[in-house]
Structure 1
């Protein structure tokens, strides 16, 4: 029975880690006015018949806080990369000089910043719902084990461990949200 309890706890922890990873991924795409190569993670470009991330066909760096520079490894990839960035709906206007592509990341307006904070908080709430869902699944599985002969003490200890995980992961979510909101509101 102890092995099943440990398995339930591991599955719960894995679901919570997944919720945190998803939140991190979503927060990266909310741009706070600071240029980051990860802003282009979702941009796919056609390369010899298959769609690949732009980072696999070029060097992407940030020479300063407001600029992203993309230098394709092959000169003939400049136009497809530029077209992919325009079609990605990220709101970027790439500047192509024949050698590399430069993207100026505009500073968001006050209204845009407020909307980004709302979006960040929404994503945080989605992550917290995922944490609570993982807790519910784990507790339901523990109740089933209780019916199958698990002692009440072991079940109660396992529920306490699950709640401890929820508390720890919730603190991580709150810290991530606070950090992102500070980043967004800092001009």
Structure 2
């Protein structure tokens, strides 16, 4: 019983950590990365698609992204989305060259602050998951007459698991801070 709950908890925490890594990739830190544009929603074919699904995105230089649209009929929609996202694309046929400017010192400090804010949101989510799991075991303890020793060991295991993931989040946030500061 407790092993399954711990595995489920660890899977959820791992997903949260992966989501944080993706959020960090989406931050504009001055380096051209296709992830900056891949998830921009674009109105095409009567619905919404991500830009990465209707074009190829590459980073041929450290400060430049190139978006090559597969269908010329959506070129205007792509341009509109890029401009709305505060990019200034140069258009050459079905190809968009998107320069990525180096952030100012003020912008770097803001990106660090945002990174730590993202990390704190994930840690709060982890603590909420811990509380939920521990509340569930308390409820089961009363219903199923589980021993106090087993509950104490389970609490210790849950705390150890959550704390290890909180440490991983802190490490990831510090790495992100170094990336942003060394642009």
TM superposition score normalised by structure 1: 0.90
Please give the secondary structure, in 1, of the residue aligned with 2:30. Answer: coil
Q: Does 1:92 align with 2:90?
A: no
Alpha-carbon offset, residue 99 of structure 1: 3.6
Instruction: Name the counterpart of 2:99.
Output: 104
The farther-off stretch of 8-17 and 138-147 is 8-17
Q: Does 1:26 align with 2:51?
A: no
CA offset digits 1:90-140 (Å, max 9, x no partner)? x21111011410000000000010011011111111111111111111111
Query: Which of 154, 172, 178 pairs up with 2:174?
Result: 178
Query: Which of 143, 163, 166 pairs up with 1:167?
Result: 163
Query: Which of 48, 60, 69 pairs up with 2:57?
Result: 60
Please give the secondary structure, in 1, of the residue aligned with 2:102. Answer: coil
Unaligned runs of 5+ in 2: none
**Distance in structure 2 (CA, Å) of the matches to 1:174 and 1:41:** 26
Q: Contact conserved, 2:38 with 2:50, CA < 8 A, in 1? A: yes
Instruction: Name the counterpart of 1:134.
Output: 129
The farther-off stretch of 144-153 and 102-111 is 144-153
**Distance in structure 1 (CA, Å) of the matches to 2:128 and 2:45:** 43
Q: Does 1:71 align with 2:68?
A: yes
**Distance in structure 1 (CA, Å) of the matches to 2:94 and 2:45:** 20
**RMSD across aligned positions (CA):** 1.5
CA offset digits 1:45-73 (Å, max 9, x no partner)? 23222211111111100001110001111
Q: Contact conserved, 1:8 with 1:142, CA < 8 A, in 2? A: no
Q: Contact conserved, 1:72 with 1:100, CA < 8 A, in 2? A: yes
Q: Contact conserved, 2:82 with 2:89, CA < 8 A, in 1? A: yes
TM superposition score normalised by structure 2: 0.92
